[in-house]
Amino acid sequence: MRELEDKIRQDGQVLDGNVLKVDNFLNHQIDPQLMYAIGAEFKRLFADQPITKILTVESSGIAPAVMAGLMLKVPVVFARKHKSLTLKNDLYTATVYSYTKKVSNEISISQKFLSADDRVLIIDDFLANGQAVEGLIDIIDAAHAQLEGVGIVIEKTFQKGRQLLDARGIRTESLARIKAFEDGQVVFVAASDD
């Protein structure tokens, strides 16, 4: 998605340890117009799938997921990283390790929001090592729901997440695919690389 790649080139910051900081349009400050365009692109990519629900993780997944839900006309459920007082029973849970933050979080969703009838699209901001997506897949499996695909805003193709999903035969669509960071610059996968 050209508009997103341009934004990453213009506003993304490459930090040590292969971390791309996009906190001025996605992870902390959010560009709503760009999120709307991202939602439209996910609709274009997944319009042929019979999706009934979108699943994401708080907090950075919420904006792109809600725009995708707006376009695909389905509800969005965000997994919580911490249990709250009013949501303590009847949860599906999974443990997710964050390589960036070096901590494990439990993620959970209420069982009432995911059923065996659901055909689920996972949306998340980043795909790197694939831990968050794997956690969401565990939850979908626990609910006996069906995974229709995974939509990612920014993928780092050189980390293991994509391989894990491909090995499981999961349709994964990423709007920007980064193959390397060179001299602090982002190098995207070119059409000719595919």
Binding residues for its own copies restricted to 127-146, rule: CB under 8 A: none
Q: Which of 1, 67, 132, 137 binds its own copies (CB under 8 A)?
A: 67
Between CA 182 and CA 65, with CA 61 as vertex, the angle to 5 degrees is 120
Peptide bond preceding 84 in cis form (omega within 30 of 0) = no
Residues 121 and 94 sit within 8 Å (Cβ to Cβ): no
Peptide bond preceding 59 in cis form (omega within 30 of 0) = yes
DSSP β-bridge partners for residue 89: none
Q: Is residue 163 involved in binding its own copies (CB under 8 A)?
A: no
DSSP β-bridge partners for residue 78: 56
Which residue is listed with tokens 């009432």?
112
For the chain, what's the residue count? 194
Q: Is 87 annotated as a binding residue?
A: no
Which residue is listed with tokens 């997506």?
133
Q: Is 156 annotated as a binding residue?
A: yes
Q: Is residue 110 involved in binding its own copies (CB under 8 A)?
A: yes
Residues 158 and 137 sit within 8 Å (Cβ to Cβ): no
Q: Is residue 63 involved in binding its own copies (CB under 8 A)?
A: yes
Phi–psi pair at 174, nearest 5 degrees: -115, 135
Q: Is 128 annotated as a binding residue?
A: yes
Rank residues 4 and 165 by Cβ distance to its own copies and give the closer one: 4
State the Cα–Cα distance between residues 61 and 3, nearest whole angstrom: 19
Binding residues for its own copies restricted to 2-41, rule: CB under 8 A: 15, 19, 21, 23-25, 28-33, 35-36
Rank residues 1 and 63 by Cβ distance to its own copies and give the closer one: 63
Give the helix ranges, DSSP H, for 102-160.
131-142
- State in angstroms the smallest separation of the CB of 47 from its own copies: 16
- State in angstroms the smallest separation of the CB of 194 from its own copies: 30
Scanning 70-78, 133-141, 164-172, 180-188 for contacts with its own copies by CB under 8 A, the matching segment is: 70-78
Which residues are known binding-site members for 5-phospho-alpha-D-ribose 1-diphosphate?
A: 128-132
- The binding site for its own copies (CB under 8 A) comprises 15, 19, 21, 23-25, 28-33, 35-36, 58-59, 62-63, 66-67, 69-70, 73-78, 80, 84-87, 100-102, 109-110, 112-113
